[in-house]
Homo-oligomer: A and B are copies of this chain.
Amino acid sequence: MVEQARQQATPTIDDVAALAGVSRAVASRALSTEKRPVSAEKRERVLQAAAELGYRVNLLAQSLTTKTVNLIAVVVNHIHDLSDLDLFDRLLAETQAIGKQVILIRVGSVDKVEEFLRQGVAYHVDAALVFSDFADAETVRKMFRSDLVVMLNGRHDRLSPTVIPDEAMGIHQAVADAAQHGVKTAALVTGRASSLVEQARIASYLSAFNQHGIELVQTVQGDYSYQSGHAAAPAVVGFDCPDAVFCTSDAMAMGILDVCREDFPGNRPTRFRLYGFDNLSLTDFDAYPISSIGYDKADYVRQMVRFLADPTAFTPGQPPVLIPTRFVPRKTS
């Protein structure tokens, strides 16, 4: 009766060992993926017993002794930006390819970070990937009890590795393209200025404008969204239309394009040239042939996953890994 009850519940390694007629340790070794000394005959018996019982190792219990859970925390603000689609699917695939699973943590707001910290609503994961700009490296290390936090939000310190797109490259290429086409004046449509990444992006545009003798005649702040681009359009290209409009996201450029579609007959610019940022796959859609700035997402993901796969790949103080960006001309420029 008691035995029956045990069978009903999820079988443990003890059950397997008992059925195979060996000790628990032998069963453990036989079941291990690594090569451990077990006689071929007993290994066979154990595997047989495990299959019979439908045994599945309890990774949580296992992690208690091995000190590694094969769990990666991915911290994001949210995932409703169009650019997220191109990224997270790859990230998931690559992470799983090295035998780890992803806990996706949505932070949403600064308050949420502090709440998570306070309540300890965070697992002791092996590593964390931080996209959200609401947390700095030290906070995240504390939050997850892990020294391996890859910062993708610009808020890294010398103790944490980071991978960042070298946006200056692509931005300079884009601005050079504009200059080559005779652009003299430009407007800039930005995202939230509180983000370090965004600040650096803006600085790159300013530097490039300066270098090519382009005058920045207007700056409008949006929030990366289509709607904010839509809303900004009248102010940007209304009264005194600049030769070119640069947006720090493709979605904002899409909003502007939709408001000014009559300025792009056959998708060719007349009044002004339009440049986006992100190189969304959406810009391959006929309706939004927006010249953009992009980088190899696969490479980006591969670099950060490399840190997860091999923690020794990072040594404190190491400079950021840079991913080259490039200008991708389409019809709007």
Contacts and interface: CB of A to CB of B under 8 A. Distances in A.
Interface of A: 10, 54, 56-61, 63-64, 69, 71, 78-80, 82, 84-86, 88-89, 92-93, 96, 99, 101-106, 108, 120-124, 142, 145, 226, 230, 254, 257-259, 261, 285-288
B145 A56 contact: yes
Contacts of A54: 142
Contacts of A258: 285-287
Nearest to A226: B285
B60 A60 contact: yes
Interface SS, A side: mixed
A93 B69 contact: no
A92 B79 contact: yes
Given A60-B60, A104-B104, A99 B86 contact: no
A328 to B, nearest CB: 18
Contact of A89 (B106, B230, B257): B106
* 9 closest residue pairs by CB, A with B: A258-B286, A287-B287, A92-B106, A56-B120, A80-B89, A104-B104, A79-B89, A10-B145, A60-B60
Contact of A64 (B64, B69, B93, B288): B64
Contacts of A261: 286-287
A59 B257 CA distance: 49
The quantity of this chain's copies bound in the complex is 2
Contacts of A108: 93
A234 B139 CA distance: 55
6 contacts: A59-B122, A79-B92, A84-B85, A96-B105, A226-B285, A287-B288
Contacts of A89: 78-80, 106
Nearest to A105: B101
Contacts of A226: 285
A93 B99 CA distance: 26
Contacts of A93: 78, 106, 108
A60 B92 contact: no
B124 A101 contact: no
A104 to B, nearest CB: 5
B92 A104 contact: yes
A135 B204 CA distance: 48
A105 B102 CA distance: 7
Given A60-B124, A85-B85, 19 more contacts: A56-B120, A56-B124, A58-B124, A59-B123, A60-B123, A78-B93, A80-B86, A92-B104, A93-B108, A96-B105, A96-B106, A101-B123, A102-B103, A103-B103, A230-B286, A257-B287, A259-B286, A261-B287, A287-B287
